[in-house]
Amino acid sequence: MLSAFLDQAVSQASLQSSEELTGLEKNINITQQWLENAYNWFINYLPNIISAVLILIIGFWLTRIVGKLILKALKKSKADPTVSSFLHSLIGVTLKIIIVICALSTLGVDVTTIITTIGAAAVTIGLALKDSLANVASGTLIILNKKFKIGDYLETEGLKGKVVKIDMMYTTLCTYDNKEILIPNSRLTSNNITNYFVQDYRRIDLIIPIAYSEDIAKARDVIMTLINNNDMVIKDRNNRVAVDTLNESSVDLSVWIWCRSENYWVLMEYMKESIKNSLDANHIQIPFNQLDLHIIDKGTKKELPTELEKEKIS
């Protein structure tokens, strides 16, 4: 009985070992087949793999060079460091995505789905951040077009100030009374802008009133003497004094004075005070609003009515 049990146990163990060996051989065969297929695929696609690797290496190298050139150009244009860093990162990421897509396409990967996904994501983000992206795009245009730069004095939508910063989304103006004005970049690219200091020269326009009784030629000579004797005035420009308007109580003289843009405010304040003092010194009257009452006496006198007469009249 014991002998039969042992024979049966040995038989089962042998059968189990045989099945394990068969399973192991199957796994080895599957692994070998997979390795052979992978090897064949690698050999067949080796040129494409080499091409994709070269695209990645050369593409990333060119991206780094382009990034350095962009940074150098932005620094040369004196762009804000924040904007420079943002544009550098944005362009670098965009170029790298394009390079990766080209490498995958070389390997035979269908990139249509990838491009569609990226496009859909970009549209969704664009709709959500429409105003912000508009400001960023406008800031990029401002830097590239160089319509104005840091240090210029601008006027737009009734706001005036010196440009002190150009960020990704906002341009900061500083008024002469030291107030900061933040203007979205999209408004600067879509509205009219007056740049007061983009040109080397500016003209000071003054209106100087004199009385009708004064000599216009004398007043002109007094003002032109001041203009010609000032070193900040550009002498070869059309500096002049001429009659502008005949008002009810004054003759308005139009004064043109040309100077360098950086001297504009100083010279204008100086000329206003100097012209007033010089006209006073030469006894030329600057009129002001007043009412002259003329009484005509015809030689007849009439007594004013008494209180009793007033009552009878009423």
Domain-located, residue 222? yes
- What count of residues does the chain have? 314
Output the tens digit of pLDDT for each of the chain's 314 residues: 545 544 555 555 555 555 555 666 666 777 777 777 777 766 776 777 778 788 888 888 888 888 888 778 777 766 656 566 667 777 787 888 888 888 877 777 776 777 777 777 767 666 655 566 677 777 777 777 777 888 888 988 888 899 888 877 788 899 988 899 988 888 888 888 888 878 889 999 999 999 998 999 999 999 999 999 999 999 988 999 999 999 888 999 999 999 998 899 899 999 999 999 999 999 999 887 766 666 776 655 555 555 555 454 55
Supply the CATH number for residue 238's domain: 3.30.70.100
Q: Are residues 232 and 259 in the same domain?
A: yes
Domain-located, residue 287? no
Q: Are residues 104 and 155 in the same domain?
A: no
Task: Return the residue matching tokens 């010196």.
Answer: 162
Domain-located, residue 182? yes
Report how many domains make up the chain.
3
Which has the closest alpha carbon to 115: 123, 62, 57, 89?
A: 123
Helix %, strand %, coil % of the chain (to 5): 60, 15, 25
Instruction: State whether residue 111 is helix, strand or coil.
Output: coil
